[in-house]
Amino acid sequence: MQFTVHAAKTNLSKLIELAKAGEEVVIAKGKTPVARIVPIAQKSFTIGLLKGKIERGGPDFFEPMAEDELELWEGKV
């Protein structure tokens, strides 16, 4: 659907709704198309997306290191 600049200014909210519904909305200056209104894809967000997919058995960074690992870390070996 093509609209003049004046019609687009007057009906902008309606044109946005048309674009969101999948209509091609073109704005023309005179008879020359100059712009197109297109919807921006909305990303969906899912809470708990990775639930059950991440293991919790990884290293515990709050536990003390073994003596041999600590010596390596401190450069004593």
Q: Please say whether the beta carbons of 1 and 24 come within 8 A.
A: yes
pLDDT value at position 57? 62
Break the chain into its structural domains and give their ranges: 2-37
pLDDT value at position 47? 77
At 18-68, the pLDDT tens digits run 999 999 999 999 999 999 999 988 887 777 777 777 766 666 777 888 899
DSSP state of 66: P
Question: From the CB of residue 15, how many other CB atoms can be counted at a distance below 10 Å?
Answer: 20
pLDDT value at position 76? 85
